[in-house]
Amino acid sequence: MTTEAPAALAMVTIDCADPAKEAEFWAAALGWKVTYADDNYGMASDGTQRLGFGRVEEWQRPEWPNPAGTKQFHLDLAVDDLDAAEEQLLALGATKPAEQPGETWTVLLDPDGHPFCLTKAANWG
């Protein structure tokens, strides 16, 4: 017996202050394209996967480190070369906080302050 799922994930949408800037950053970071951007909404896509960015009035960036757990989510990016990927993402507008979790992960912040992690692709199996 097979069970068909009642839904399919179409997109992940992230709250932010500047949707167009977020879409531009993530499109460049992932090698995708900005498929839509205005003052209230932005989208980056590779044709099958999509990240959306919705403007929220008085949006507040999450803290890093975040002991209270209020950051709610983060993206993990698999890379071949941690140092090279970090350098490229910093050039695109990411920032690197002083607090880091260890040697196998690097935490960066996107232009609106969302934390995301870099780790070697080989670690994912």
pLDDT in tens, 42-72: 999 999 999 999 999 999 999 999 888 887 8
pLDDT in tens, 72-114: 889 999 999 999 999 999 999 999 999 999 888 999 999 999 9
To the question of pTM greater than 0.85 for the whole model, the response is yes
Q: Tell me which amino acid residue 93 is.
A: G
CA-CA-CA-CA torsion for 40, 45, 49, 50, nearest 10 degrees?
0
Instruction: Tell which residue, 63, 95, 78, has the closest CA to residue 30.
Output: 78
Mean pLDDT of 14-23: 97
Smallest CA-to-CA distance from 34 within 58, 8, 79, 47 is with: 47
